[in-house]
Amino acid sequence: MDIKNLTIEEASKKMEAGELTSVQLVSACIENAKKDNGDINAFLEIFDDALAQAEVADKMRKEGKATTLTGIPFAIKDNILIHGHIASAASKILANYVASYDAHVIEKLKTAGAVFIGRTNMDEFAMGSSTENSAYGVTKNPLDTSRVAGGSSGGSAAAVAAGFALGALGTDTGGSIRQPAAFCGTVGLKPTYGDVSRYGAMPMGNSLDQIGPIAKTVADAKIIYETIVGHDPRDNTSVPDQFKNKQDRPVKTIGVPWHLIEVDGIEAETLTRFKETIEKLKKEGYSIVDISLPLTKYSLAVYYILMPAEVSTNLDRFDGIRYGHRTKDAETLYDVYAKSRGEGFGKETRRRIILGTYVLSHGYYDAYYRKAVAVRHEIEKEFKDAFTKCDVIAMPTNPAPAFKIGSKGSDPLAMYLADVFTVPADIAGVPAITIPNGTNKEGLPLDIQFMSTWFDEQALFEIGEVVEKLV
């Protein structure tokens, strides 16, 4: 079975027609994973109950209770809790942590009859853009194994691209769904902040985190999104439906912030392809307008203040007392904290904790944190204003295609700059989708990203399906 080219829509139709069972589908994915995962390292664990789940799904279908996702194999990022399974966030500190409950999104997928094949590799606690910060080794890009799959949801994107699963869940704080999805030639959606409940997802930057789908097509991403979306009182940032201003109009105008795109860091082929696709959209009858977002260029600087500040407070919970790794080498209570954390956290995590502690410290708080919050509000206003002039905003997802493993070296700033086009949507809280945009000369996937106004994911699916056909 050619899983690499099978969509959720097609698989679901085949199962409904009786041409395919979930057991067959899940077996084929596991077979692929057993063959290639040793090299790709997308899965940290393949669940031994996957086939049992598939049998339940097949029974559900026989009984006429199936949804589109019944029996569909999923790969789940390792920071999303599945009851009874390890959830380590690719960190040594949680190496043996077993989830004591299901995340909201997992409950939703279980109700729909989805099958969980395994948990996927990621940058530790979702901090990174390449999965090179995983405590369990890098995830290789299935399309070119000398390159990264991206991050932090690199394992989820690679699992879909490699034919280990038909759909995946990732989390996005600064681009962690869209960047790896794009690097692996797939579709990735970061929903509006507050749209999908984070109950049961390990927090990194609470004011930014969102859970979203990675899939092969826009239609598949939409099916997953519509299954996991919805209000949940257990996440107090979850927005009740009556406050979601749904737009009900076709996409006509596409805003392009050229001043953010035509910058030094963007690779020539990425820019050329982006321009070509915009030109094609123009020929399709879309009106293209140049929009100005003057403060949005500061998004990355704002992000690298707010995110580490939130990281440093969030990761307080890992203290070697209640769960996770505890050092064997402690005399005092202070030692238990400091040594457990020093041993359990990886280098990038330690770096962000130190940075966050600094920007929140007395004397620097105003200069960094308060300033960043103030600029963030201005960026939100800019987006609000921009969406009075256009229905969606288009940008590349990444300034360049997937980079070589190890090429960003030991300079953390070089890695941070990889997020320059994805971070603005997280800062403003708006939804954003990445769509494959052909390949470059070396055959690596290029990408295009669309953002829409708060809770208008529908516009992203609409324009995304148009681009899918055009490219």
Partner 1 sequence: MQLADIKKLATLARVDISDGEVIELSKDMDSILGYIKELDEVNLPLGEQLTGDLYNVVRDDDHPRISAQYTEVLLKAAPETESGFVKVKKVL
Q: Which residues are catalytic?
A: 77, 152, 176
- Tell me which of 43, 304, 421, 455 binds partner 1, using CB under 8 A: 304
- Tell me which of 27, 253, 292, 357 binds partner 1, using CB under 8 A: 357
C-beta closer to partner 1: residue 288 or 301: 301
Q: What is the DSSP letter of 452?
A: E
244 near partner 1 (CB under 8 A)? no
C-beta closer to partner 1: residue 73 or 174: 174
370 near partner 1 (CB under 8 A)? yes
17 near partner 1 (CB under 8 A)? no
The tokens describing 328, both together, are: 């064997």
| Near partner 1 in 97-116, by CB under 8 A | 97-98, 100
CA angle 383, 384, 385 (to 5 degrees): 90
Cβ 148 to partner 1, closest distance in Å? 20
SS3 224: helix
Cβ 311 to partner 1, closest distance in Å? 11
14 Cβ contact partners less than 8 Å away, ≥ 6 residues apart: 20
SS3 301: helix
Number of H helices, E strands in the chain: 16, 13
Q: How far is the C-alpha of 117 from the C-alpha of 74, rounded, in Å?
A: 6
345 near partner 1 (CB under 8 A)? yes
Q: How far is the C-alpha of 277 from the C-alpha of 123, rounded, in Å?
A: 32
| Near partner 1 in 113-172, by CB under 8 A | none
The tokens describing 379, both together, are: 């960026």
Side-chain half-sphere exposure of 4, counting CA atoms within 13 A: 10
199 near partner 1 (CB under 8 A)? no
302 near partner 1 (CB under 8 A)? yes
Cβ 304 to partner 1, closest distance in Å? 6
C-beta closer to partner 1: residue 63 or 366: 366
C-beta closer to partner 1: residue 45 or 319: 319
Amino acid occupying residue 179: Q
C-beta closer to partner 1: residue 362 or 469: 362
C-beta closer to partner 1: residue 59 or 350: 350
For 168-221, give the DSSP string: EEEEESSSTTHHHHHHTT-EEEEPPTTTB--TTB--SSTTT-EEEEEESSHHHH
Contact 245, 126 (CB under 8 A): no
**Phi, psi of 263, rounded to the nearest 5 degrees:** -125, 170
Cβ 96 to partner 1, closest distance in Å? 9
| Near partner 1 in 315-344, by CB under 8 A | 319-326, 330-339, 341-343
| Near partner 1 in 375-394, by CB under 8 A | 375-378, 380
Is the preceding peptide bond at 152 cis, omega within 30 degrees of 0?
yes
Q: What distances in angstroms separate CA 77 from CA 218, 284, 297, one per listed residue? A: 20, 37, 30
The tokens describing 281, both together, are: 């959209």
Q: How far is the C-alpha of 150 from the C-alpha of 399, rounded, in Å?
A: 13
245 near partner 1 (CB under 8 A)? no
295 near partner 1 (CB under 8 A)? yes
- Tell me which of 111, 272, 287, 361 binds partner 1, using CB under 8 A: 361
- CA–chain centroid gap for 136, Å, is 19
**Phi, psi of 445, rounded to the nearest 5 degrees:** -65, 135
Cβ 102 to partner 1, closest distance in Å? 13
236 near partner 1 (CB under 8 A)? yes
SS3 248: coil
C-beta closer to partner 1: residue 56 or 336: 336
Interacting stretch for partner 1, rule CB under 8 A, among 32-40, 166-174, 281-289, 355-363?
355-363
C-beta closer to partner 1: residue 204 or 221: 204
Count the site residues for partner 1 by CB under 8 A. Answer: 61
Cβ 389 to partner 1, closest distance in Å? 21
Contact 437, 471 (CB under 8 A): yes
The footprint of partner 1 (CB under 8 A) covers 97-98, 100, 233, 236-237, 295, 298, 300-302, 304-305, 312, 319-326, 330-339, 341-343, 345, 347, 350-351, 353-355, 357-358, 361, 366, 368, 370-378, 380, 411-413, 416
